[in-house]
Amino acid sequence: MTRPRQRPQGPHRIHYSPQAWREVGRMSAEDFGALQAALERLGGGMDAGTWPPDEHPGLHVLPRHGLVLGYAWDEASRTLTLLSLERQRSEAP
């Protein structure tokens, strides 16, 4: 009988790449708050093993704020890294 893999316990960390951090400096306070909340949810989902969804691993969209987040998770260090942050392009009518 094999033993189920045990997930490490404890908090995760969030890291911003330099490219993403430059974009953060251009955000409104409301957008930044939404970004922080989304990163906490992503990191918490990684901790629980419930993230990422199969359809878009490494990509998360915040449609209300028009943001597309590119991220990576490192299980060994339990770190979520925001790799890229882009504004969603709106479709012209």
pLDDT of the chain, 93 residues: tens digit per residue:
444 444 444 588 999 999 999 999 899 999 999 999 999 988 887 766 666 665 567 888 899 999 999 999 888 888 999 999 998 876 555
Burial (CB count within 10 angstroms: exposed 0-12, middle 13-18, buried 19+), residue 12: buried
| pTM, rounded to two decimals | 0.75
Tokens coding 82: 């925001």
CB contact at 8 A, 79 and 8: no
**61, amino acid identity:** V
